[in-house]
Structure 1
């Protein structure tokens, strides 16, 4: 028994000496040109696969990935944040990603057989010891549009991708970064995508504070944080001025047919307390003059409104100077309340 223990101790010392020589003596060649030793890629990829399988969220949390506008919103983020490494459907990767170790696979190869829940975890967490970053926000609901896009990648061609991510021509004199924003929001701030807020109804002061909050990370969104940090702060203010100067279209962003839901929402919107004023006093219609820095909600997308109310209620939303007031206002809302409020505001004529 003593000899066995001595042998084990000797092997432990030998292993520690070998490890020290590799780590401190520089014996391991970290050159990407040399690549990994044989068998290492298999070990790493198998570890990666099993790690994701263990930690991915339950499939029951996956929302409706086929909902209107989901794929387009995800494609817009992919165009600005992911294409540089993974290429787009119908395109080839450029030179740099192909010589990285490990190299980022083409997006069709990267999606592979991963489930939606697994893709969400990968996009959210990133991959250690690779070039895959983690999601640049703590809220993770806006990862689902990216997952919706990834689910469509296998059958997508270059023309379809081009239609999803086209940057429209802009009028002469428009801010130079407007084509990038208009890819999702439209030239006049009305994209028609229910997942994306319309901007033509918002006061300039609100747009300014919101864009700066996204850029500085004070308002949480992986999609908008990436978008806002690609533009200089001064240009963000120019974009806010542009959208605020557009003529407001009165037509609602999304039609609402359930009149009972609208009626219930009106009662909620008009109701206030000593601690929390009525929704209409700040958000309109006919908001008080002091509310210039609050978003207008009349004619906004019901889908977007419901998403934001859930974030306020569940503690996933911030960005404004009065965020504590909104958190207090939303904390007691049920899902039915949120649906009703969203329906009523979405049914109102849009106005600034």
Structure 2
């Protein structure tokens, strides 16, 4: 009984002390005085242990390529440099007066492992002023991590070459946008989409949906909110004008593109950049960037995809008419309602009211099992069959009827896919399938169309469209 009373008294005293701190203002919240050493130790120790507990396994970290690092560097420069500084860029006096003060970036990276850096970038840090990633997408943090693993050995010249704005005439913010996308809309980095193949209407819609948070991307949500809202239409028109002014879709690449190695970005012959994570084992292939030597040439198709296309071109061209007739006859016999290329339904396929009727989950599962037992096809040939609805499936509509190639009535706010970068297409299709991408007024239709695609089918569709010549809108 006496022990119970003692514990009750201690609890009451603790509650009274806590209430006094909260309601009487006894705790000094001034950032000029700092924490007691024991408080600083407790906060930092808690932070490290929390990250180590919650970080993903090291095996889930994708290959941290130079192309990823270039993208991550540009986002860091716009969103993070103001607090953490950069190679050759000091933190401001105001930032250094924060409590806790954001450490300079080389110090902040410290001895954190890439998987731990990924968790920190995605989740942010409470009570420190560091925000979490501004999107539900988890894949986007790895380019920033790729940059962070290189920043400790990066020279000011290398950093400046990676992050400088493009010198070009245009509306406010154009140089900032062109730093990633190129002055003619060709990024040269397969993680950054080509804009030269899109209409100004589609580009404006995309910018508006990023700005409003209806389409998911931490990079683009930040970028679209960093430029004046009234300039979004002018920016879209400027990129469209750049493609037209170059005589059609262009293959010119800016200095920061995928084809330029990070060592080439360094001025004055500075040493090549190296990653702390070099030689580490990596996980999922679906997040890996395609190497620079696979960068697309000749209108946007990769050499591998173009070779594959030329190999199957004769067979596909020769068999396409018969295959289309045979498959459509089989589809008619089976009661399929998916449109065929050139049919009125396909030509009108610009909205949910004209979209194909999708099969049930059970029917899709049965067809999926049949497909798994079939011999593998060349990805480009398989992608073409999917795009033109020649596979006999009723659960995936014909991509071609809306996105081309040669769609007769493609809407101006519908993106062209021909010549787009293969890794970018794969990522976007996975986001559609998983229901996390978001977008314009017909986003639900695209989510429904993609939700039964397998990983192999996504790779095939991306390979097919990347193999096609890029065409100006």
Relative to the length of structure 2, the TM-score reads 0.71
Partner of 1:268: 386
Question: 2:266: which partner in 1?
Answer: none
Comparing 319-328 with 149-158, which one deviates more in the overlay?
A: 319-328
* 1:304 is aligned to 2:302: no
Q: Distance in 2 between matches of 1:312 and 1:281?
A: 18
Instruction: Tell me the matched-pair count.
Output: 348
1:252 counterpart residue number:
299
Report deviation, 1:22. 1.0
Asked if 2 retains the 8 angstrom alpha-carbon contact of 1:256 and 1:343, the reply is no
Distance in 2 (CA, whole Å) between partners of 1:276 and 1:262 is 17
Q: Deviations over 1:135-157 (max 9, x none)?
A: 11111211111111111111111
Give matches, 1:167-316, under 5 Å.
167-171=165-169, 174-246=170-242, 247=244, 248-249=248-249, 251-258=298-305, 259=308, 260-271=378-389, 277-316=397-436
Equivalence for 2:92: 94
Other structure's SS at 1:289 match: coil
**Pair 1:96–1:119, CA change in 2 (3 A):** same
CA deviations 1:172-200 (Å, max 9, x no partner) are xx112101101111111111111100101
Structure with max Cα Rg: 2
Structure 2 residue runs of 5 or longer lacking an equivalent are 251-297, 309-377
The residue that corresponds to 1:83 in the other structure is 81
CA root-mean-square deviation: 1.6
Cα drift, residue 254 of structure 1: 5.0
How far apart are 1:275 and its partner, in Å? Answer: 6.8
Match of 1:324 among 444, 460, 466: 444
8 Å Cα contact 2:396-2:450 kept in structure 1: no
1:28-83 CA-partner distances (Å, limit 9, x unpaired): 111000111221110000000111111111222211112x5111110111011000
Q: CA deviation at 1:89?
A: 1.9
1:288 to partner: Cα distance: 2.8
**Separation of aligned partners in 1, 2:430 and 2:447:** 10
Is residue 345 of structure 2 the alignment partner of residue 345 of structure 1? no
**Partners of 2:114 and 2:464 in 1: how far apart?**
33
User: Structure 1's 334 and 276: CA in aligned 2 closer, same or farther, altered over 3 A?
Assistant: closer
1:21 alignment counterpart: 20
CA distance in 2, matches of 1:266, 1:153: 42
Question: Taking structure 1 as the reference length, what is the TM-score of the superposition?
Answer: 0.95
Contact in 2 for aligned 1:194/1:254 (Cα 8 Å): no
CA contact (8 A) 1:211 1:236 kept: yes
Distance (Å, rounded) in 2 between the aligned partners of 1:29 and 1:308:
49
Alpha-carbon spacing, 1:143–1:320, altered in 2? closer, same or farther (3 Å) = same
Runs of 4+ aligned residues of structure 1 deviating over 4 Å after TM superposition are 272-276
Q: Which structure 1 segments of 5+ residues have no match?
A: none
Mean CA deviation greater in 220-229 or 337-346? 337-346
Question: 1:76 & 1:39 partners in 2: Cα distance?
Answer: 38
Task: Give me the whole-angstrom Cα distance separating, in 2, the residues matched to 1:28 and 1:71.
Answer: 43
Q: 179-188 or 12-21, which moves further after superposition?
A: 12-21
CA–CA distance in structure 2, aligned partners of residues 322 and 240 of structure 1: 20
